[in-house]
Amino acid sequence: MGLFDKIKGEFIDVVEWTDDSPNTLVYRFQRHGNEIKNGAQLTVREGQAAVLVDEGQMADVFTPGMYTLETSNLPILSTLRGWKHGFESPFKVEVYFVNTRQFTDQKWGTKNPVTMRDPEFGPVRVRAFGTYAFRVSNAATFIKEIVGTDGHFTTPEITDQVRNILVARFSDAMAESGIPVLDMAANYDEMGEKLDDRVRTDMEAYGLELRMLLVENISLPPAVEEALDKRTSMGVIGDMGKYTQYQAATAIGDAAKNPDGGGLAAGGLGAGLGMAMANQMGQTLNQPQQTGGQQAAPPPLPQGPQYYAAPGGQQAGPFGADALRQQIQSGAVTKETLVWTEGMAEWQPAGDVEAVAKLFGSVPPPLPPS
């Protein structure tokens, strides 16, 4: 053995990954020919996992710690290679380092509106967006199902798929929740929990774990939001009649302050506008005010007592004061005619009932003889 071979043999083979890239999920350890020495030192730091792959087959997985790669701690690889009595020579194997820390502030949102049936508005289209955090929970499954032979796998290569899962499950959860659109802002946490439960199984199939899911906003189309804003404004205004009066009075005041620098034409236009505003205000003031959504009406006029009379022994009526006066003027009812009204114990002559007797005084006397 030459001096160079002896010195080379004394070197300790170190396998580690110290890259601090913020979006790297999987990194394949670079080694010429993928040759690892027997007794090499494998260092797996916190937030990492190391996966050994032998000729396309998944071998041993190492959690954080420092390991000496020997037959004793490579049971799966030893079985695949057929090492029954240990080994001394270098061996070829691919080492994948998997980043197992949390990746936070990942965005999700609906590319197209989701149609749902709202109990108040009927069919509506809504959009939603938020953030989520995830981590690799099963390094072997993640490499097998997603990464494959990619030597440098980053978050943008998986976030699109996760976002598609979130949007699909969110559509189902929102449609089945039965929560009105106007009440969803008060139920973001509940929607996030429903979505978390539905997505968790899908994520586990990829070796991923959904750590946190937040619904930040659920919105309606711009046209619907504009109509909703108008409806809210009308509710804030309250009495529309008084608001119209105020608007008309303000417009007339603004027109009066406008200088007539535009000459005669401007003055005529201003005068015409002022007259039109005044006419509109007059119409508004003459309109009956509405209360509680219904037009206010004056109460009915009070009615006096109603009298029954018995001219010629036959009951007639009831008569109000004016009708009874006409009966007296026509001679059908005299002071001797019996009358009755509510509250009287029995029929009495009209001349004995004070209220009726007054009506006889308003009847003109007979004309004197010619």
- CA–CA gap between residue 26 and residue 275 (Å, rounded): 79
Q: What is the pLDDT of residue 239?
A: 64
State whether 81 and 120 are in the same domain: no
- CA–CA gap between residue 148 and residue 128 (Å, rounded): 33
> CA-CA distances (angstroms) from residue 30 to 17, 33, 37, 145, 367?
10, 9, 14, 22, 137
- CA–CA gap between residue 239 and residue 235 (Å, rounded): 9
Q: What is the pLDDT of residue 261?
A: 47
Taking residue 317's Cβ as centre, other Cβ atoms within 10 Å add up to: 18
Q: What is the pLDDT of residue 44?
A: 94
Q: Which residue numbers in the chain have pLDDT < 70?
A: 1-12, 82-89, 231, 234-243, 246, 252-253, 255-297, 299-303, 362-367, 370
State whether 84 and 189 are in the same domain: no
Q: Are 149 and 96 in contact (CB under 8 A)?
A: no
End of a domain among 65, 99, 133? Answer: 99
Q: What is the pLDDT of residue 278?
A: 57
Among residues 240, 239, 241, the alpha carbon closest in space to that of 285 is found at 241
Tokens describing residue 3: 């001096």
For residue 331, give its domain range. Answer: 307-361
State whether 58 and 129 are in the same domain: no
- CA–CA gap between residue 279 and residue 273 (Å, rounded): 10
- C-alpha dihedral over 333, 335, 341, 344, to 10 degrees? -160
CATH of the domain at 338: 3.30.1490
Task: Tally the domains of the chain.
Answer: 3
State whether 91 and 110 are in the same domain: no
Helix (H) and strand (E) counts for the chain? 10, 20
CATH of the domain at 180: 3.30.479.30
Strand partners, 294: 291
State whether 220 and 135 are in the same domain: yes
Q: What is the pLDDT of residue 270?
A: 52
State whether 75 and 122 are in the same domain: no
Tokens describing residue 32: 């010429």
Q: What is the pLDDT of residue 139?
A: 93
Q: What is the pLDDT of residue 118?
A: 79
Instruction: Give the residue carrying structure tokens 């004056």.
Output: 298
- CA–CA gap between residue 72 and residue 65 (Å, rounded): 16
pLDDT tens-digit map of 196-248: 778 888 899 999 998 888 888 888 777 777 777 776 776 666 666 666 776 77
State whether 201 and 167 are in the same domain: yes
Q: What is the pLDDT of residue 279?
A: 63
| Region at 317 (left for phi over 0; alpha for psi -120 to 50; beta for the rest) | left
Q: What is the pLDDT of residue 260?
A: 55
Q: What is the pLDDT of residue 281?
A: 55
Q: What is the pLDDT of residue 295?
A: 56
Q: Which long-range contacts (CB under 8 A, 24 or more apart) does 69-76 make?
A: 69/15, 69/36, 69/38, 69/39, 69/40, 69/41, 69/42, 70/38, 70/39, 76/52
State whether 91 and 109 are in the same domain: no
Q: What is the pLDDT of residue 285?
A: 52
Amino acid at 195: L
- Biggest CA–CA distance in the chain, Å, is 172
The answer to whether position 276 is within a domain reads no
State whether 142 and 30 are in the same domain: no
